[in-house]
Chain A
Amino acid sequence: MNTVVLTGIITSAIAFATPYLYAAIGEMFSQRSGVVNLGVDGIMLVGAYAGFFVALNTTASLGPMGLWLGLVLAALAGLLMGLFMSVISVTLKAEQGISGIGLYMFGLGLSSLLFRVTIGTVKTVDGFKPVPIPILSNIPVIGPALFNQSVVVYGAFLLVPLAWFVLERTTWGLKIKAVGQSPAAADSLGVSVNRVRYVCVCVGGMLAGIAGASMSLATVKLFQDNLTAGLGFIAVALVYFGGWRPLGILLGALLFSTITSLQNFMQVLNVGISPDLAVMLPYIVTIVALMFPINRARQPAALNRPFERGES
């Protein structure tokens, strides 16, 4: 295997881990505060559409600023969807699994409908270009793969230590964890359980929106109906895989995207494995990997349990 192919595999793996990272870290915040949001895929689609629509219509006049504006609006769209989810799941204390599926259906339909009505046919945008980091990107083999990606990709990886910092080193992170472990105790200490949950679900929505836009503006650079094709559900699964910790999620996302990238190249180079098995590989490996007990974390105790003051 020559170095060009190796670089190609790593480049692909890093780039395509991006949406998983954004979405899974967002879902991690939501779940750490006790809310399961299965509608991540729907939020990603709405974010992907919103970012794409803005970029399509403004890059002519604003240039690259149009792309950034698209990202901002995608985050805003995700925030609104997250707010919707919070109202239903936190204030109205609905069954979270089903409200998530409802949100998914809503997001899927809304993004396709808006796409049909406002854009109509599939179009591409120039999107975020790779920004090489000087010196580092000249390292042989891994340099171009790790340090010659678009800003959106860098952002996803920087999000991991940022999320760790917020969760482990700030008061806000403490509140989130308390609300997720024992809302009654947190409530008795004066933490507004519902407010923390609202913020976390909205942040989760915002990040999911950015995840979608990262696809339509950076990695795939177009929008089509059901662009994500179930990626949001894999992202939710990765939260469990990663033990609700940012590092675990990073490892899970990288494992998944690396195997996907690897099997693509294996097919291209016609190396032994049948394409049917190759496509299944990332999913099987993820399950098998979880069978090995590597410091397994326990899930937030109050996950999927709406909070009512006075109830246990």
Chain B
Amino acid sequence: MAKIDQTTVVRRVIDPAFSCRLSFAFWGRITILLGMPPAISPAIRRTQRKIRANWNDIAFSLTLPLLAVLFALAVGAIILLLLGVNPLDAYAAMISGAFGSVQGITQSIAKATPLLLVGLGICIAFRASVINIGAEGQIILGALAATAFSLAFRTLPDWLLVTLTMIVGFAAGAFWGFIPGILKARFGVNEILSTVMLNVVAAQILLALLKGPLMDTQGVTAGTFLPQSEQVPGSVWLPRLVPQTLLHTGAFVAVILAIVVYVFLWRTTIGYRIRAVGLNLDASRYAGIRVSIYQMLALTLAGGFAGLAGVVEVLGVTHRLLEGITSGYGFSGIVAALFGGLHPLGAIPASYLFGSLLVGADKMQRAMQVPSSLVYVLLGLIVLFVVGSQYYARKRATRRASTTVTTVEEEVATA
């Protein structure tokens, strides 16, 4: 198995457009290395030098968002001081809340799970250069289908019920992603418009069902009429990994799916075509790829993953369908995906870090008793500064890229 070139990995994380240029060269390199005699060739020596040098790149790409976060926190510190709160205490509470206890870490992972699933869908969609803002609605559809299905078929054996429920939830979310997909492919309706509208429609469908056929009968007899469903059968609950926390096996499912999505996008023909459409629409069309079909497929898959996030929330965390089941994950998932460089593997640490950010911010609110709106201010500033700071990462990547391309081209030529 050929050694994965560190340069290529870092480039792909930072600059999706860059991977196209290098991927052909990369395959060329593998054929060269496989045919290599055991002696260390100049090519391998050059690779080793590049790998050593690239730790600098990786350190840079990690430090940059960190500095951006610190800058945002500094601005936040000014606001905290104006509110009469000690910013050092506040931020200490935030960090210890997110990383300083078992509760904090497990809560961060538990929050990261739906973020990662939504983020995976966003990755696929963005790679086909379609924007999926409909994750909120797709989460709802997935959660709805999961609840209705598992309640209707509660007599099935555990493993079958869980698997089928997940598939049904994925399908429901995929359907809600298919609608904007086909509207775009067939009628040219812009997906931002259709997904925004469908979000509201999905929320209304949820409310209509929760106050009608799906309402927990216990609530009706007790006269409380709460907008929630009956509890889903115990056989379908996702087991908790750590007692007294919310961490459930859905986390494993999400990480495994992230790897699956990576393989799908980079190692299968369909995935390749989806990425090709996103990189150069006209070239793909010229090459015979049906652009609209693949964009529709991307939206459908994105919807499916968002739907799965809804399933996982119901089966693992809340154990019933609630009015607020989405918890804003449809939007924070987009942020998490972009923090991960729109790469499925990058989304894993990105959603964990974003999840810990959210958990830490809540802890800060509890400890310092500041208004919860301050949390949104901080999060907004962090998102803005991190995404703005990527400017410097891109500049550095472009500078390095022009030197690396020539080196690789040389090697392919001399092989």
Contact = CB atoms under 8 A, between A and B. Distances in A.
- Whether the complex brings A and B within 8 Å at their CB atoms is answered yes
Interface of A: 42, 84, 87-88, 92-95, 97-99, 101-113, 116-117, 225, 230, 233-234, 236-238, 240-241, 276, 279-280, 283-284, 286-287, 290-291, 293, 296, 299
A95 B384 CA distance: 10
B390 A283 contact: no
Interface of B: 79, 83, 131, 133, 183, 187-190, 192-194, 196-198, 200-201, 204-205, 207-208, 331, 334-335, 338, 371, 373-384, 387-391, 394
Contacts of A106: 376-377, 380-381, 384
A245 to B, nearest CB: 14
A46 B373 CA distance: 13
Contact of B380 (A109, A230, A233, A279): A109
Binding site of B, secondary structure by majority: helix, strand, loop or mixed? helix
Given A94-B390, A280-B201, A104 B83 contact: no
Contacts of A225: 373
Contacts of B196: 233-234, 236-237
Contacts of B382: 102
Nearest to B200: A283
A287 B378 CA distance: 35
Contacts of A98: 334-335, 338, 383, 387
Contacts of B387: 88, 94-95, 98-99, 102
23 contacts: A92-B390, A94-B390, A94-B391, A98-B335, A98-B338, A99-B388, A101-B334, A102-B379, A102-B380, A102-B387, A103-B380, A104-B380, A105-B376, A105-B377, A109-B378, A109-B379, A117-B83, A225-B373, A237-B193, A237-B196, A283-B197, A287-B189, A291-B189
Nearest to B374: A113
A209 to B, nearest CB: 17
A106 B76 CA distance: 11
Contacts of A113: 79, 371, 373-374, 377
Given A88-B384, A99-B384, A109-B376, 7 more contacts: A102-B335, A102-B382, A108-B380, A237-B197, A284-B197, A287-B193, A290-B193
A215 to B, nearest CB: 18
B337 to A, nearest CB: 9
B193 A105 contact: no
Contacts of A112: 371, 373, 376
B201 to A, nearest CB: 5
A93 B379 CA distance: 20
B188 A293 contact: yes
Contacts of B377: 105-106, 109-110, 113
A103 B385 CA distance: 10
A276 B203 CA distance: 10
The 9 closest A-B pairs by CB, nearest first: A106-B380, A109-B376, A102-B383, A105-B380, A112-B373, A109-B377, A276-B208, A102-B384, A92-B388
A240 to B, nearest CB: 4
Given A104-B380, A110-B377, A240-B192, A88 B388 contact: yes
